[in-house]
Structures are given as C-alpha cells and as structure tokens.
Structure 1
Amino acid sequence: MTEPGRIHHTSFIAHPPAQVWAALTDPAIHARWWAAGDVRAVVGHRFTLDMGPWGLQSCEVVAVEPERLLSYSFAPGTLNTTITWRLAAEASGTRLTLEHKGFDLDSPLGKAAFEGMSKGWPDVIQRLQNVLGQ
C-alpha cells in the first residue's frame, strides 16, 4: 500500500556510493544537478536551497549515515516535508532511493507541490546521473 503524500523513487546509478554521496553532500556538485545551497552531512545543520522561481527553501539535516543515508526537513513552516536519500552498493554502482514525504494533500499548496514534485523528481535524478557521468 502506498502512503498518501509520499513520493518514492529508486534508481540504479552507475557510480560507487562514495561518488553519489559526494553529489548529495558537496554544495558545488549539488548546485549542478538540483539547487544551490550549503548542504552538509551534519545532523542539525540548517541550510537553504535556492529553488529558483519557488524561492529559498529552508532545510535541516535530521539523519546522517555516511555513504548510506541523508535525511533533511524541507520547507518547514510551509510544506513541512522530509527528503531522505538512501544509498546501497550494488554491483559496480549504487542503488539510490529517494523518499519525499509529509505532503499535506488536504492543502492546495501541499497537493500542488506533491503533484509537481512527483513528476519532477525523475528529471532531477536524471540530472544527478548526468553530472556524475561528466
């Protein structure tokens, strides 16, 4: 059964977990595939992501397991969602799982964000793969 207000996406990335982890946690690389911001893999670290037309979105790191898991709150006070990235070594690459949950589907903003991000995440992850391939 699918949890309402939850986006789940899994991809195979043809790069080892250390490289995928760097793309998720190095601000310079992160800005090339998704959004500029001072992301760091430190629990309690607060940062913003520049989402262009959607403005600056506040985030706070809530869980870290180096090269295995990065989880942070996304847009507290407006969307109140959580983004979690899970990495697992697989063959010569990485199985990358994204979970974006907590969307309030009863609110117009929450529903619109859920619909937009459900469609948008696959493209974002494709950009991540493209950046890693450079």
Structure 2
Amino acid sequence: MNKRDEYQPGAASGAHVQKEGEKWTLVVVRDLRHAPAKVWNALTDPACLREWAPFDADANLGAVGPVTLSTVGTPTPTISETHVTRADAPNVLEYRWGNNDLRWTLEATDTGTRLTLWHNIDRGFISMGAAGWHICLDVLDRLVAEEPIGRIVGGEAMKFDWPRLNTEYAQQFGL
C-alpha cells in the first residue's frame, strides 16, 4: 500500500467562520512543521500548486500582477483571470479567485509555520470549502515534508472522507 492509499484526514478542526453583514469568511489555521520560506514556495510555485491545490496557475503567485487560475477535478474547469494584490514573501499572499478573496499569512513558530487562510466564500459552500481546504492542506503538508501523496480534489476527495469532513464542519459552524 502506498502513502496515498494510507491517507485519512483527521477530525474537522482548526477552522471557524467570521461574518460581517452578508460577507462570510472561512478562516483555517494550520501549524506546519516547516519553515515559512518552504511553505511560501508551496503556496506560490505553479509546479508545487499542481501537487496540492484545487487549481492550476499559469504563473508564480509570489509577485503582484495577473495570473490565470484553472480549477481541477471539476467536470468543466473554471478559468479565472486572477490578480495577486499582495505578495510579501514569505509572510502574506493575497489574491482574488473568481468572486472570492483569499489571504494567506505565514507566521514563524518554534516548530515551523502557523499558516492562516482567510477565504471569503458563499455561506452555502462554507463547510464544503472547509472540508476541501482541510484535505488540500494535509496534502500540502506532506508535499513540503518531501513525502508527496498527490493532489486530492474534486470527486476524488469523496474517497478520502470529504463527506464526513463536510458534515463535521457544518455542525461546528452551526450551518
């Protein structure tokens, strides 16, 4: 059995919802055992993104400017003309993906990096987003540890307990 077949996500944790008016934001916090520079590379380099993210990028996200993001694992890819609005390596990355604003912060800790993602997302999709990011960040953690298991997104995530995570996050968020 390979590492991918052994992968099972843990319980839903490390996420909460912020609401301002009609604007909903999913906040995911994950402690990683890697230096911020290594995590930054995984968040910005197109080759690394192909190993864990729910989208492909046609350019490095580590510089302010335009980039095209294409969803992966969907019947028809959604292609978004995106603009990186902030890229302060290795601390803050901000961009708009479709109609959603994403902000990633990386804070050095004694054991590695505290990664925080703020993702503005429609209320009806917030627990689904939390479940998806949970799996993606597990895969990112393994990639940065040089133990890659390959991207798990879209329909394939169903085989890796995505439905359970979606239910757990919906209960935690009171949705």
**Gaps spanning 5+ residues in structure 2: where?**
1-16, 147-175
**Which residue does the alignment assign to 1:133?**
145
**Which residue does the alignment assign to 1:5?**
24
Helix, strand or coil at the partner of 1:2: strand
Please give the residue correspondences for 1:1-134 in structure 2 after superposition, counting only pairs within 5 Å: 2-3=18-19, 4-34=23-53, 35-38=55-58, 39-53=60-74, 55-58=77-80, 59-75=82-98, 80-101=99-120, 103-105=121-123, 111=124, 113-134=125-146
Deviations 1:21-57 (A, max 9, x none): 0001111011101132224212122222332216133
Q: CA RMSD in A?
A: 1.8
- What is the CA distance between 1:5 and its match in structure 2? 1.6
Moved over 6 A (4+): none
CA contact (8 A) 1:16 1:89 kept: yes
Letter in 2 for 1:71: E
- What is the CA distance between 1:118 and its match in structure 2? 2.2
CA contact (8 A) 1:8 1:99 kept: yes
Query: Which structure has the larger Rg?
Result: 2
Aligned length: 123
Question: Whole-Å Cα distance in 2 between the matches of residues 37 and 46 of structure 1?
Answer: 7
Question: Whole-Å Cα distance in 2 between the matches of residues 115 and 86 of structure 1?
Answer: 21
CA contact (8 A) 2:84 2:94 kept: yes
Letter in 2 for 1:24: L
CA contact (8 A) 1:87 1:94 kept: yes
Question: Whole-Å Cα distance in 1 between the matches of residues 112 and 70 of structure 2?
Answer: 27
CA contact (8 A) 2:18 2:27 kept: no
CA contact (8 A) 2:57 2:67 kept: no
**Which residue does the alignment assign to 2:168?**
none
CA contact (8 A) 1:83 1:98 kept: yes
Q: TM-score, normalised by structure 2?
A: 0.64
- What is the CA distance between 1:119 and its match in structure 2? 1.9
**Gaps spanning 5+ residues in structure 1: where?**
106-110
Question: Whole-Å Cα distance in 2 between the matches of residues 45 and 65 of structure 1?
Answer: 16
Letter in 2 for 1:37: A
**Which residue does the alignment assign to 1:108?**
none
